[in-house]
Structure 1
Amino acid sequence: MVQNMRRHIHILAVMVVIIGAIAACGGGSSAASYETVTAASIKSGDAIPAPTGDVIITMLGDLNVTNSGDTLELDMPTLEGFGLVKYTVNDPWLNAENTYTGVLISDLRKALGASSSATSLLFTALDDYQVDISLEDVEKWPILLATRNNGEYMDIENSGPTRVIFPYDAFPEIDRVSYKDLWIWNIKSVEVR
């Protein structure tokens, strides 16, 4: 009887260790996958100023915050005012490890007052290439609207001034094949749909 009880306690202890290990490995916080560079100076509900510099991206569609008619135009300082984070990832287009800095698209969505009925963001590049990224993915992973690569601002010739980056290395469940074409760059507009 005592030996049977010890066996049950041993099995229970092993199960607790296994469950703890599984919990530690799975579904980790996305915040652990990036480093905050600067805190947001523009938060949800704040008025967003009209650009004083070159407009680098125009937000349109189902949003509650505008600064130019029914759109929201952003210059670089305003875009980066939503807070900057960075992470390192193996870029599938450059075939190299790069550290990207930019705004979490989930934070940008909240600050824009995107409608609760919206389901996706349609990104359009300067060459009119378009990708549609689901808001489910935006909330699930720390997808970046990058403004810098390896600490340097990106010009148009180097995929700038903004590009979308997926955190492949921190989230192996992101299918590299299906998501590769969503790494859009030279973005001119984002439509909340």
Structure 2
Amino acid sequence: MSVLMTLRQCLGRRGMTACLGFFLLMFGASVVHAHPLPEPEGDVMLTVEGDISRTNGDGVARFDRAMLKALPQDTIVTHTPWTQGASHFDGPLLGAIYDAVGARGDSLHVIALNDFAADVPLAEAKEYGVILAMRRDGEPMPVREYGPLFVLYPFDDHPELQTEEVRFRSVWQVARIVVE
């Protein structure tokens, strides 16, 4: 039976308020019962919290290296203000992390191990393919070299990103993201 046919029958028998309640209950149940994320098996590298619907413990989403590597990835080859020469950075797309946790906000408040924080607009992250770099030139990034996670923009591909405001959003040593 089609949804439209069911809606017509409902309206004919019960009225608008009852039908609306029925459909919200039926379609809302699929959102409320979204599948939880798997538990991390290795060391937690990233915790995502805030306006999210998919978690794996205490209202947060925790990711280990394998979970992050399982998300859609990209590689950005670029110079940065903090490194010598162009490097190959790879890691999950910020937009993929957003999708994986069922986020509903439009800004990512990114927090480093030392509590430095910056807000990355979701629209900007998706438009430019911003990644959470896990590797530089094929090697995991240690904390002393901007790791283990680094918000990275494709600076060389988009000269309009070479501003102080965008550089400020390129948080390194990322530990947490709060979806707002």
Q: Shorter-normalised TM-score: what interval?
A: 0.7 to 0.9
**Superposed displacement of residue 106, structure 1:** 1.1
1:149 equivalent to 2:139? Answer: no
Q: Matches of 1:176 and 1:103 in 2, distance apart?
A: 23
**Match of 1:102?**
91
Q: How many residues align?
A: 147
Q: Matches of 1:99 and 1:52 in 2, distance apart?
A: 27
Q: Which runs of 5+ in 2 are unaligned?
A: 1-33
Q: Check whether the contact 1:105–1:145 (CA below 8 A) recurs between aligned residues.
A: yes
**Match of 2:70?**
81
Q: What percentage of residue pairs aligned between the two structures are identical?
A: 28
Which secondary structure state, in structure 2, belongs to the residue aligned with residue 58 of structure 1? Answer: strand
Q: Which runs of 5+ in 1 are unaligned?
A: 1-44
Cα gap change, 1:95 to 1:176, in 2 (>3 Å): farther
**Superposed displacement of residue 175, structure 1:** 3.6
Give the counterpart letter for 1:141 in structure 2.
Y
Q: Deviations over 1:26-72 (max 9, x none)?
A: xxxxxxxxxxxxxxxxxxx7642111111111000000100011000
Q: TM-score, normalised by structure 2?
A: 0.77
Richer in helix (by share): 2
Q: Matches of 1:46 and 1:163 in 2, distance apart?
A: 28
**Superposed displacement of residue 85, structure 1:** 1.5
Q: Matches of 2:162 and 2:149 in 1, distance apart?
A: 22
Q: Please provide the CA RMSD for this pair.
A: 1.4
**Match of 2:176?**
189
Choose which of 61, 82, 96 in structure 2 pairs with 1:72.
61
1:179 equivalent to 2:159? Answer: no
**Match of 2:109?**
122
Q: Matches of 2:139 and 2:108 in 1, distance apart?
A: 26
Give the counterpart letter for 2:89 in structure 1.
Y
Which secondary structure state, in structure 2, belongs to the residue aligned with residue 181 of structure 1? Answer: helix
Give the counterpart letter for 1:186 in structure 2.
Q
Give the counterpart letter for 1:66 in structure 2.
T
Q: Matches of 2:107 and 2:172 in 1, distance apart?
A: 18
**Match of 2:13?**
none
**Match of 1:131?**
118
Q: Matches of 1:54 and 1:62 in 2, distance apart?
A: 24
**Match of 2:23?**
none
Which secondary structure state, in structure 1, belongs to the residue aligned with residue 123 of structure 2? Answer: helix
Cα gap change, 1:177 to 1:58, in 2 (>3 Å): same
Q: Check whether the contact 1:168–1:176 (CA below 8 A) recurs between aligned residues.
A: no
Choose which of 80, 85, 89 in structure 2 pairs with 1:91.
80
Is 144-153 or 78-87 further displaced after alignment? 78-87
**Superposed displacement of residue 82, structure 1:** 0.5
Give the counterpart letter for 1:100 in structure 2.
F
